[in-house]
Structure 1
Amino acid sequence: MFRVVKPKSVEEFNAYYTFRWTYLRQPWNFPPGSEKDEYEQVAEHRMIINSAGDIVACGRVHLNTAEEAQIRHIAVHADFQRKGLGQMILGALEAVARDLGAIRAVTNSRELSIPFFTACGFAVEREAPTELGTLRRQQMVKKLSDLSSLVMHPNWCKELQKTWSDTIPITDHMGIKIHQFTGRTLETRASLNKNINIHGTMFAGSIFSLATLTGWGMIFLQLKEKNVRGDIVLGDGDIHYHKPITMKPRAICNIESLSGKLGLLDKNKKAKLTLQVDILDGDDPVAEFKGVYWVLPPKKVSKDDSEEE
């Protein structure tokens, strides 16, 4: 299980900077401290941790202007590469940039990283200044205002939203909307005003519903991705609450947390899937949901049922 978190304590920032230096500066023999620059205090920092609490990826974003965000210092632990964590941390930084009002993101990429950023929607614009005087880079740009940069497979997402509205009416009552789908991460958001209790916080039941629907939605989109059909039902759900939600309810499900065998549906057998959904209030983690879902094979229509009378 992997989670995107924001370093807050001195200890967390020390670990974050050590990780950055280890993967972005030490290989070129630059000393500790070279991983920092003059933008650290005004930047937003994010890191991915595993179930043991170890940092496995990191990145940073800051505003150059009111409309342009600069993404820097993306690194992934050597033992966790090619698992989608680069896209996961980049997606989190882009989400922060949008919340800050940016409509375009730039990054100065080394030659080895250009294919990664190209695959994530960036395009080379021009040559950038060398890094630390020696490392050549290209400036790459991505428009954050494009729908395709926010939602992959918009037709699937539109169908999911309509399915929720038609078959699970509580979705509309809670104001639950798909905010982002990258192919690997699904983020939904809910209206606090529609789910607020007498204490000015979100109902615990509403938080649970937001989590279960987000997990349900991730499986729905994976069925589309695999081009298989099935009926999704919640088998079991366990949620741990840490803090109340008082501002911006968000739910995030990453494909790395999803496990199970959808191939069983091809054998007309039900498939058991487990996943995790992280609940946040803005950028602050407030709860974790672990769900067990069953995907049931579609019912076969008999010849008699299909014939017209």
Structure 2
Amino acid sequence: MFKIDVPNSEQDFADYFHFRWKMLREPWKAPIGSEKDEYEQVSQHRMIRNPDGEVIAVGRVHMNSAEEAQVRHIAVAKKYQGKGLAKMLLASLESVARSEGAVRMVTNSTELSIPFFKSTGFEIDSANSNELGEQHRQQMVKKLSDPNAITLHPKWCKLLQKTWRDTIPISEQMGIKLHQYTGRTLETKASLNKNINLHGTMFAGSIFSLATLTGWGMIFLQLKEKGLAGEIVLGDGNIHYHKPITMQPKAVCNLESLKGKFDPLSKNKKCSFNLSVAILDGDNPVAEFSGVFWVLPEKVE
């Protein structure tokens, strides 16, 4: 029985990188150290050890953008090939990519590994191929979808995501994405790697921003539901932190928490709303946000 491990200690990483070098770089007579690149600190690493504690498989994933994850450096010791370990690693890395909000995964595959990636749902992207040393590599891509996610009014949800990106560009740099909208619940996620502090947890300011945008987004979608339009601004916001976020930042706003009336807006008057947003680390509640938002009538020119 094999299990996926996350390298944490200095020794874990020393074993992990040595195995990567031995499998992927030594055959090409590359020196020790060439197995690392500039993405190591912002990547998620996984490995498998045998019962004797020896590393026998490794893999890595990092985010190229808020929507795209890249898988690299999957390797399995020859003695253990054919036992499904590579697929175990890839499934674990794909889970990480989904939790980071990726909608697609890419990999630069060698000719020998193309069949493996095809068997796991990747397709060749003929528009992107390149040469790496003596190995001809072909970019492959796999579209990701969450079978449990419910996206009511997808056009509105895409417009909300675009509005965040266009008017608050840093939201994309933070990896903040709308995960699902049911009509009564809005759930968003953010990338931990893009908001991590020196303690290995999420910046408090990033958590506040995630909560604020989630509340803002709920009002945006409710305006669409009611056929209204207006400028949404934050009037006041408070957040109580209970635990740090160390894994999967998530925010949830339920319609039941929204207090206020939209009627004044239809009469070209401003209106205010109180709402709350729950902040979670995966499924564990870690903070609560309460905010006051104002919706101002659109200016008529």
TM-score, length-scaled by structure 2: 0.51
Distance 1:145 1:288, change over 3 A: closer
- Paired position in structure 2 for 1:188: 188
Larger Rg over CA atoms: 2
- 1:178 aligned partner: 178
Distance between the aligned counterparts of 2:256 and 2:164, measured in 1? 24
Q: Post-superposition shift, 1:267?
A: 1.3
Q: CA deviation at 1:231?
A: 0.2
SS at match of 2:160: helix
Pair 1:233–1:145, CA change in 2 (3 A): closer
Give the deviation of 1:300 after TM superposition.
1.3
**Does 1:226 find its partner at 2:230?**
no
- Unaligned 5+ runs, structure 1: 1-97, 100-143, 302-309
> Partner of 1:197: helix, strand, or coil?
coil
Change (3 A) 1:159 1:192: same
**1:50-89 paired onto structure 2 within 5 Å:** none
Runs of 4+ in structure 1 displaced over 4 angstroms? 144-147
For 1:200, what is the secondary structure of its paired residue? coil
- Helix, strand or coil at the partner of 1:171: helix
User: Per-residue deviation at 1:170?
Assistant: 1.4
Residue 230 of structure 1 aligns with an amino acid whose one-letter code is: G
Task: Tell me how far 1:145 sits from its aligned partner.
Answer: 5.9
Q: Secondary structure at the match of 1:259?
A: coil
Report the equivalent of 1:163. Answer: 163
Distance across 2 between alignment mates of 1:167 and 1:175: 15
Amino acid aligned to 2:298: P
Show CA shifts across 1:105-144 (max 9, x none).
Answer: xxxxxxxxxxxxxxxxxxxxxxxxxxxxxxxxxxxxxxx9
When normalised by structure 1's length, the TM-score is 0.50
CA distance in 1, matches of 2:278, 2:249: 11
Please state if 1:247 is matched with 2:247.
Answer: yes
Give me the whole-angstrom Cα distance separating, in 2, the residues matched to 1:170 and 1:182: 26
Give the letter aligned to residue 155 of structure 2.
Answer: N
* Alignment correspondent of 2:215: 215
> 2:269 & 2:231 partners in 1: Cα distance?
12
> 2: distance between equivalents of 1:205 and 1:169?
16
CA separation of 1:300/1:213 partners in 2, compared to 1, >3 Å: closer, same or farther? same
Task: Quote the Cα distance in structure 2 between the aligned partners of 1:146 and 1:284.
Answer: 21
* Cα separation, 2, equivalents of 1:174 and 1:248: 13
Q: Give 1:86-235 correspondences, 5 Å limit.
A: 150-235=150-235
1:179 and 1:171 map into 2 onto residues whose CA distance is 14
2:297 counterpart residue number: 297
In 1: Cα distance, 2:234 partner to 2:199 partner: 30
Secondary structure at the aligned position of 2:234 is classed as strand
Q: How many residues align?
A: 159
Return the offset for 1:146. Answer: 5.8
Matches of 2:189 and 2:166 in 1, distance apart? 18
Instruction: Using the TM superposition, give the Cα deviation of residue 225 of structure 1 relative to its aligned residue in structure 2, in angstroms.
Output: 0.2
**How far is the alpha carbon of 1:289 from its aligned partner?**
0.2
Q: Secondary structure at the match of 1:214?
A: helix
One-letter amino acid of the counterpart of residue 182, structure 2 = T
2:265 is aligned to: 265
SS of residue matched to 1:233: strand
Question: Could you tell me how far apart the structure 2 residues matched to 1:146 and 1:196 are?
Answer: 28
Q: 1:28-85 CA distances to partner (integer Å, 9 max, x unpaired)?
A: xxxxxxxxxxxxxxxxxxxxxxxxxxxxxxxxxxxxxxxxxxxxxxxxxxxxxxxxxx
Q: Matched residue of 2:217: which SS?
A: helix
For the residue of structure 2 that corresponds to 1:150, the secondary structure is coil
Aligned to 1:281: 281
